[in-house]
């Protein structure tokens, strides 16, 4: 029996190799997974042209996944440096990469990523359009934009951010309800500007059926972009954001009618006390479609530390229903991240995702922590390093300050609670001032 997309296969009762891979990774019954994919509650981004893909699932009941943003720009146009970031993401087991390239040999770089990266690959075609055609924004046509989408699909991209929710209706609501930071989505701003300059409807909204044609053909998952995400905690959960979210829910249903898989993108900057409500709103207004969030960044005053502000928000968001976290690096709001920034961003986001999985009761999530706790109880430092989310940093800290008693650390020395409890529970004496017998 033939199928067009993973959703189509699930609805026809066909078990694909990608479904088998995801079910095994998630310790989930294959029949349960198929039902979730068929109903749009789980997506398996899997472009037919991404030949070395090791599939991942995103959505209800699955582990929280993380995404790494990278890509070349006019100011930092070094493909080899960005490839190093791709390889770092592979080494650190990030489940997804988004190529946000917006200048130069974007297709060359994109194809390199598809060749070497076996996780999910995403792009934002709108970023690529100006350079792809060497046209100013105003002069791009709807046909131009759709052609860029198809080019990315042909190249093997598994999911694409399409800002189709910023239509004329949403734009008018935005203009009637001024914000402190206006629109901050790069793709959303480009489309809003195009609409204003040409006095026309958003091409991705107007020609959404043609976008679906492309996505169905290649089995590309649409990540419905949040052009109206908040760029400051002042602007979160306002009329523009909620109106766009309602539109994204309507578009998700249209996509599902065509067996096209959908994720919904979300905020953004947002105060802690609003996060849980926003997760609930997305699930309600978008019919339980998987939710992909940037952060949320919970305070605006920490440039240089936004991997931390984002991890705080990400942990709350994912524990409250978000399924996919886009990493934020210390360089957010300041510059293109370097390799060290990318590593810090990945680690912070992995911590947030794992903490959320514990809270959500994801199968085997606590097992990792229990193994670390056992190694700590046994003062088995090598085992601790093996288990650690960043073994290199843990070893570096340990080696930089050696204790008198090698089983302890220089924080407590022989007053180490773990050491002393092990001894006393085994009927041994505790020698703190003198050598052990």
- Going by C-beta distance under 8 Å and a sequence separation of 6 or more, which residues neighbour residue 24? none
Model pLDDT, residue 96:
98
Phi (first) and psi of residue 123, to 5 degrees:
-145, 170
Euclidean distance between CA atoms 242 and 44, whole angstroms: 27
Residue with tokens 């004496």: 429
Could you report the per-residue pLDDT of 18-42, keeping only the tens digit for each? 999 999 999 999 999 999 999 999 9
Using DSSP's 3-state secondary structure scheme, residue 301 falls into coil
Q: Confirm or deny that 416 is annotated as ligand binding.
A: yes
Euclidean distance between CA atoms 112 and 135, whole angstroms: 25
The tokens for 10 are 């699930």
318-to-16, 98, 138, 358 alpha-carbon distances in Å? 28, 19, 38, 10
Beta strands in 9-95, from DSSP E residues, in sequence order: 42-43, 58-59, 65-70
Could you report the per-residue pLDDT of 31-84, keeping only the tens digit for each? 999 999 999 999 999 999 999 999 999 999 999 999 999 999 888 889 999 999
Helical residues (DSSP H) of 258-338, grouped into ranges: 272-285, 306-319
The tokens for 333 are 């709001």
> Nearest CA to 64 among 98, 95, 97, 27?
95
Could you report the per-residue pLDDT of 370-405, keeping only the tens digit for each? 999 999 999 999 999 999 999 999 999 999 999 988
Q: Confirm or deny that 185 is annotated as ligand binding.
A: yes
Q: Confirm or deny that 265 is annotated as ligand binding.
A: yes
Euclidean distance between CA atoms 299 and 306, whole angstroms: 9
Euclidean distance between CA atoms 231 and 183, whole angstroms: 7
The tokens for 379 are 């003062």
Could you report the per-residue pLDDT of 254-309, keeping only the tens digit for each? 999 999 999 999 999 999 999 999 999 999 999 999 999 999 999 999 999 999 99
Q: Confirm or deny that 186 is annotated as ligand binding.
A: yes
Q: Confirm or deny that 127 is annotated as ligand binding.
A: yes
CATH topology of domain 6-360: TIM Barrel (3.20.20)
Euclidean distance between CA atoms 388 and 364, whole angstroms: 16
Ordered by start, the domain boundaries in the chain are 6-360, 364-400, 404-437
Give me the DSSP letters along 173-205: HHHHS--SS----HHHHHHHHHHHHHT---HHH
353-to-319, 342, 349, 362 alpha-carbon distances in Å? 8, 16, 6, 11
Model pLDDT, residue 430:
87
Count the Cβ atoms, other than its own, within 10 Å of residue 1. 6
Q: Confirm or deny that 163 is annotated as ligand binding.
A: yes
Model pLDDT, residue 436:
66
Q: Confirm or deny that 305 is annotated as ligand binding.
A: no
**Measured on CA atoms in the order 11, 15, 21, 26, is the torsion positive or negative?**
positive
Euclidean distance between CA atoms 144 and 336, whole angstroms: 28
Q: Confirm or deny that 69 is annotated as ligand binding.
A: yes
Euclidean distance between CA atoms 29 and 31, whole angstroms: 6
Q: Confirm or deny that 234 is annotated as ligand binding.
A: no
Is the pTM higher than 0.75? The answer reads: yes
Euclidean distance between CA atoms 8 and 215, whole angstroms: 12
The tokens for 272 are 């802690």
Q: Confirm or deny that 228 is annotated as ligand binding.
A: yes
Q: Confirm or deny that 409 is annotated as ligand binding.
A: yes
Question: How many residues are there in the chain?
Answer: 437
The tokens for 417 are 């609670």
The tokens for 133 are 């055609």
Confidence of residue 434 (pLDDT cuts 50, 70, 90): confident
Q: Confirm or deny that 227 is annotated as ligand binding.
A: yes
Could you report the per-residue pLDDT of 84-127, keeping only the tens digit for each? 999 999 999 999 999 999 988 899 999 999 999 999 999 999 99
Cα 8 versus chain centre, distance: 24
Give one word for 405, left, alpha or beta, with left for phi > 0 and alpha for psi -120 to 50.
beta
> Nearest CA to 137 among 200, 64, 43?
200
Could you report the per-residue pLDDT of 332-358, keeping only the tens digit for each? 999 999 999 999 999 999 999 999 999
Confidence of residue 406 (pLDDT cuts 50, 70, 90): confident
Contact criterion met (CB below 8 Å) for 395 and 385: yes
* Residue 437 clears pLDDT 70, i.e. is over it: no
């Amino acid at each position: 029996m033939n199928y067009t997309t993973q959703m189509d296969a699930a609805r026809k009762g066909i078990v694909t190799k990608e479904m088998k891979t995801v079910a095994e990774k998630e310790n989930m019954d294959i029949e349960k997974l198929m039902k979730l994919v068929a109903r749009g509650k789980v997506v398996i981004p899997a472009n037919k042209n991404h030949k070395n893909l090791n599939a991942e699932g995103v959505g209800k009941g699955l582990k929280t996944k993380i995404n790494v943003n990278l890509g070349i720009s006019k100011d930092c146009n070094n493909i080899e440096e960005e490839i190093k970031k791709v390889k770092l993401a592979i080494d650190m087991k990030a489940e997804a990469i988004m190529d946000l390239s917006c200048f130069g040999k974007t297709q060359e770089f994109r194809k390199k990523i598809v060749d070497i990266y076996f996780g999910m690959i995403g792009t934002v075609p709108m970023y690529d359009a100006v350079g792809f055609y060497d046209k100013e924004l105003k002069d791009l046509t709807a046909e131009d934009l759709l052609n860029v989408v198809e080019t990315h699909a042909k190249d093997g991209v598994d999911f694409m951010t399409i800002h189709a929710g910023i239509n004329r209706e949403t734009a008018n609501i935005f203009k009637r309800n001024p914000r402190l930071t206006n629109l901050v989505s790069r793709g959303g701003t480009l489309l809003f500007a195009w609409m204003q300059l040409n006095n026309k409807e958003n091409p991705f909204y107007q020609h959404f059926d043609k976008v679906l044609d492309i996505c169905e053909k290649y089995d590309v998952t649409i990540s419905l972009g949040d052009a109206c995400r908040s760029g400051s905690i002042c602007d979160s959960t306002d009329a523009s954001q909620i109106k766009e979210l309602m539109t994204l829910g309507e578009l998700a249903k249209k996509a599902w009618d065509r067996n096209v898989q959908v994720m919904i993108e979300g905020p953004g900057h947002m105060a802690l006390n609003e996060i849980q409500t926003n997760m609930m709103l997305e699930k309600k207004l978008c019919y339980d479609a998987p939710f992909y969030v940037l952060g949320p960044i919970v305070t605006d005053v920490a440039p240089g530390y936004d991997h931390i502000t984002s991890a705080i928000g990400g942990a709350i968001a994912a524990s409250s229903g978000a399924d996919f976290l886009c990493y934020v690096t210390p360089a957010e709001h300041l510059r293109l991240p370097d390799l060290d920034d990318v590593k810090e961003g990945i680690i912070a986001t992995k911590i947030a995702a794992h903490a959320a999985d514990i809270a959500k009761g994801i199968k085997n999530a606590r097992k990792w922590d229990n193994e670390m706790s056992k190694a700590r109880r046994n003062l088995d430092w090598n085992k601790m390093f093996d288990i650690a989310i960043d073994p290199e940093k843990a070893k570096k800290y340990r080696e930089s300050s050696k204790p008198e008693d090698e089983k302890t650390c220089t924080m407590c020395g022989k007053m180490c609670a773990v050491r002393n409890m092990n001894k006393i529970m085994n009927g041994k004496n505790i020698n703190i001032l003198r050598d052990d017998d």
